[in-house]
A and B are shown apart, each in its own frame.
Chain A
């Protein structure tokens, strides 16, 4: 178990991060400059928190009250930097062997060759870093971080410097990481899709604060508040009043859309008449479908053609107020033009309710 609970005053905000993870991949998702990288550096011992606690299993890496602050070289957290930070004056072999000093040379050789083989970069052994492509650099950085068998692997935006083709291939490989690395993995990114694909748990951070953390499905399906919803890509948020409560579903009255049924998730306690925020992801709104409930007629305000399908901006109106919605449709055969009217259906299973009072 890796447990982190740290506070650090930064020029723009106060970093307050508390999270725990247990031999799993946890993604830290947040916009740039939110304190993600600083969090990793605090864990690795490269930055010192003002106060807090970092423990790994039964050992303490940092404890401001007991004045414990293990230096980075003794923590030996595997760190893959955003720009990979390969030593430009050392060959691939020497880069990977750098952290293995003090072991018998036969063991060093075996370990380096082993990890290079696992990552499929065996034949790059004698290359210098400036003769490597971005993808190769990333693998070498990963090999170097893993060679010393660290207890924690920290990945700082490992894909941000790669083009999309290389990126998707390396992502697939990182998914297999768990086959040969059993440890805590903390993975920092600003890309939601990437975070979801690669991790089992997610933490959403903004301006130094952890807004929500948990299983990835939970974070995506049940954002804790409006900020989490927005940061995880929810474009459609609207306020409503709860007008009916049943065991498995809740009925909301939304001014612009009429009444909506929402599937009720466990442990969500609501009261009749309570004002709440409801939301749905762009991809979950069904365009051109009319059902007995959860349907509305909306006007298309504009249509952006994508590589596959379209993104529509819609406007729902009841005469008094207007609501802007966004949806995407993979079906490009029938393109709706601005000004056209169409039916939409909001599936109860994909709608979620945010308790504004929390």
Chain B
């Protein structure tokens, strides 16, 4: 059995999650706890790939990165066209999974108590240090859940990938594409192999997600623990 689609899928999903992770974190940090004119407009724009049909996202990306698109023209001039290359699978997956990461991280940042960040500031921490040492660790369960969801979504991406990257075996053919074209060609047994593979990888991702959720729950539970005042340490 040709394992290429599996490696391409995992490579793509990892690369897309990495990009999405930092972009989503940056966007979430910028939007959380800030109020400006047109905020809901920007927010809507970030969420859009989640609600649009992937083919619409793919069409949009094609317009942007295609031979006649503004970014595409530049890339063609530089001799590094993106369309129908492996990078295209990453871009398509990253764009489609971005809203999941962004939403989860933003919700998690908004849950962080502002006074914890304020306390860090009064202790001399720069905004950069406040972000990495306080905000991110405290929002981590939510951020991690977002990253796992984004990874799972990248893995399953079909429509936008097909539009932007095409179906080139050994180059842009991810598992979902391979399944579709195997079924279309009547190779049901091959399709089933890949289906089982996707089931396995997705299941692992979800187990990881649940693990994070449980950790989050445990943290909450220990915070509300009732702790009696100890008589030995306070009196002296």
Contacts and interface: CB of A to CB of B under 8 A. Distances in A.
A81 B117 CA distance: 12
A121 B234 CA distance: 8
A1 interface: no
Contacts of B134: 87
A83 B119 CA distance: 11
Interface in B173-223: 219, 222-223
**Interface size bracket, B side:** 20 to 34
A35 interface: no
B56 interface: no
B153 to A, nearest CB: 28
B229 A134 contact: yes
With a 10 A CB-CB cut-off, give which of A73, A132, A136 has the most chain B CB atoms: A73
Given A88-B138, A89-B138, A136 B234 contact: yes
B35 interface: no
B227 A135 contact: no
Interface stretch (A123-131, A240-248, A273-281): A123-131
Given A99-B124, A101-B124, A46 B118 contact: yes
B122 A166 contact: no
A45 B119 CA distance: 11
A169 B116 CA distance: 26
A44 interface: yes
Given A120-B234, A131-B227, 13 more contacts: A72-B118, A73-B124, A77-B122, A79-B118, A85-B113, A87-B116, A98-B120, A99-B124, A101-B124, A120-B233, A144-B119, A145-B122, A148-B124
Interface of A: 41, 44-46, 71-79, 81, 83, 85, 87-89, 98-99, 101, 120-121, 123-124, 130-136, 144-145, 148, 165-166, 169-170
21 contacts: A41-B118, A45-B121, A46-B121, A72-B122, A75-B122, A76-B123, A76-B124, A79-B118, A85-B113, A85-B118, A87-B120, A88-B223, A98-B123, A98-B133, A99-B123, A101-B125, A121-B233, A131-B222, A131-B227, A135-B234, A145-B122
